[in-house]
Amino acid sequence: MSTPTPQVSHGRTLLSLAPYLWPRGERELRIRVVVALAALVAGKIANVIVPVAYGRAVDALSPTAGVAAIAAVPVAMIVAYGLLRALSAGFGELRDAVFAKVQARAARRIAHGVFEHLHALSMRFHLDRQTGGLSRVIERGTRGINFVLDFMLFSIVPTIIEILMVTIILWGLFDFAIAAVTFGTIMVYITFTLVFTDWRTRFRRQMNDTDQEANTRAVDSLLNYETVKYFNNEAHEARRYDASLGRYEAAWIRSEQTLNALNAGQAGIIATGLALVMLMAGNRVASGAMTVGDFVLVNTYLIQLYLPLNFLGFVYREMKQGLIDMEAMFGLLKQEREIADAPGAQPLKPGPGALVFEDVRFGYRPDRVILKGVSLTVPPGKTLAIVGPTGAGKSTISRLLFRFYDATGGRILIDGEDIRSVTQDSVRAAIGVVPQDTVLFNDTIAYNIAYGRPGATEAEIEQAARLAQVHDFVLKLPDGYKTRVGERGLKLSGGEKQRVAIARTILKNPRILILDEATSALDTRTEQEIQTALRDISRNRTTLVIAHRLSTVVEADEIIVLQDGQIAERGSHGALIAADGLYADMWRRQSEAVAMAEAAAAAQEAAGFGQKTIREAEEVAPTA
């Protein structure tokens, strides 16, 4: 697929931005846009009249003017000059103040829309991308919107309008030649600036890259302080850092030198144009076709146009980057939703939670089929366990049920309704998940429990914590339920995090419960405690248990053994053991592994006890 040219792409980006600047049904914001544009035009009109007032004041002060004129007219012209300058600045500030709400609202709505859209995209999209990168796209895109609006609407466009107005005024007041030279000077200045800025961008990019490289090496070295010390590599790290600094130094020098060349070229163009216009105006003053005030007027116009163009190179470079950042953000909005509600989809009807898989087939890629016709039924209030070797498709079943993906064949029913025909929100509201890797928000314990049902009362949060057997632990903490759990819950142990996750699920009160390897990462003792809490919350709920440790599923009403995407065995624990098949073999191997681990632990404990006894005897011996 061909990449669009930057001009076309930038144009589409600006068109995508336009509806947010003229929002439907937002009368106040539309009025603000109109007022801001009116203030923009009024400010520019005042600005282009300023040199005229200045020139007329100079003429009035010339020796050829009468005494009365010298006494009265300059006062009026000077007052008019000052008033016009004040109006030009005042209209500019009014424009910014009025438009600020439109600009902020546009950035907010776009960022909010992208954020919502990202949550609506499938798991496949998020697995293929880095979350940190996505947040940076939104951050840079929002900043790009503000920059483009500030400089394009209130700097570039007004300056272009002013150039055209000045050219027309000079043509009307004097002749085409002066207007043409003035206009030509500005066009040569703009062309030179844009072309030269494009050329020197590579040096700026090299400077940024080498700066990032040096910073990365410094941070990496300091974070690995102990490793550096272990191997006596301080000098090595210093050499690597200095090499990066050397590359940054060279890139910075090139960037600064090219900036100096850009500034010199801009100054030369303006000086040449100014000299030409002044020569032409001087000849006309000498011939009597122009006054001294007209001479000053022309000079003032050229300088007045030059000042806002002085930062054109910076503005052009940053605007290009802003447009690129905006394109990346708008590109996220164009990502198609892989999982979408069917047209006219209704919420899932209330029910007891009967679950049925009918010949379900699925593959993450066409060449990688995971499930090959899985059929199962979980009656309301019963527990079905799914076990099997790694890669058999156990977790895929829960992802399909939660509609992270849609089955490529067959169908999944909850209380008789195909989950693809009802809304995703209602399906997910009916299901609660306790995953293997519980991730908590960097907030309080109360917030993380209440995440199961935002708006829950304090009493409801505490009741859920009691059922999850975490309430007593929380009360022992200095800040109780207001204790912050840290990034991803790292201030809590694995068992404590799991209990918080269970409390969160209890508060959600789903009709179907999924326990996806909920205790596989815990030690035996903690696992037994968590299992007690899980048995309590799964009582009278349709429960799907996905497990690696078979000891956690012996009480399930039915156990399904998956192998290579198909059901290899099914039945109760006792029946599967009696069948002496795949499940029985897995059970024997796990039992042997557990027995060996327990024997090793007992031996280690006994050895530790023996050594302790010897040490105690040695300590007592001298006194005996």
Instruction: Give the other-Cβ count within 10 Å of 448's Cβ.
Output: 25
Indicate if the pLDDT at residue 413 is higher than 90.
yes
Confidence of residue 10 (pLDDT cuts 50, 70, 90): low
d(CA 422, CA 347): 5
Report d(CA 91, CA 394) in Å as an integer: 66
pLDDT of 605 over the 80 cut: no
Measured between alpha carbons, how far is residue 32 from residues 26, 102, 103, 219, 370 in Å? 10, 7, 10, 47, 56
Q: Encode pLDDT of 521-542 as tens digits.
A: 555 666 666 677 677 777 778 8
Q: Residue 265 corresponds to which amino acid?
A: G
Over the stretch 540-579, which tens digit does the pLDDT of each residue have? 788 888 887 787 788 888 999 988 888 888 998 899 999 9
> What pLDDT does residue 181 have?
87
The answer to whether residue 594 is domain-embedded is no
3-state secondary structure of 418: strand
Please give the full DSSP string across 94-121, using - where no structure is assigned.
HHHHHHHHHHHHHHHHHHHHHHHHHHHS
Q: Which pLDDT score, from 0 to 100, does residue 242 have?
A: 92
**Alpha-carbon span 61 to 543, nearest angstrom:** 96
Q: Is residue 448 part of a domain?
A: yes
Q: E strands within 446-487?
A: none
pLDDT digits (tens, 9 = 90+) for 120-176: 776 677 665 655 556 667 777 777 787 787 777 777 777 787 788 888 888 887 878
Strand-strand pairing, 558-563 and 383-387: parallel
Highest mean pLDDT: which range of 117-121, 224-228, 593-597: 224-228
Q: Are 226 and 240 in the same domain?
A: yes
Residue 133, both tokens:
């990168």
**Where among 335, 367, 392 does a domain terminate?**
335
Query: Do 409 and 550 fall within a single domain?
Result: yes
What is the pTM for the complete model shown?
Answer: 0.61
Does 621 score more than 50 pLDDT?
no
pLDDT tens for 181-204 read: 888 888 898 889 888 888 887 887
Question: Do 501 and 520 fall into the same domain?
Answer: no
Q: The domain spanning residue 374 has which CATH number?
A: 3.40.50.300
**Domain identity same for 357 and 368:** yes
If one counts every other C-beta atom within 10 angstroms of the C-beta of residue 179, the result is 21
Residues 104 and 212 in one domain: no
User: 234 and 190 share a domain?
Assistant: yes
Q: Are 102 and 133 in a shared domain?
A: yes
Average pLDDT of the chain to the nearest whole number: 80
**Confidence band, pLDDT 50/70/90 cuts, at residue 313:** confident
Our count of domains for the chain comes to 4
d(CA 13, CA 326): 7
Longest dimension (CA), the chain: 129
| Sign of the alpha-carbon dihedral angle for 308, 310, 312, 314 | negative
Residue 2 is assigned to a structural domain of this protein: no
Say yes or no: 183 and 269 in one domain.
Answer: yes
d(CA 377, CA 544): 11
Q: Determine how many CB atoms are found less than 10 A away from the CB of residue 371.
A: 24
Q: Which domain holds residue 285?
A: 175-289
Query: What is the sign, positive or negative, of the torsion defined by CA atoms of 228, 229, 231, 232?
Result: positive
How many CB atoms sit inside 10 A of residue 554's CB?
Answer: 13
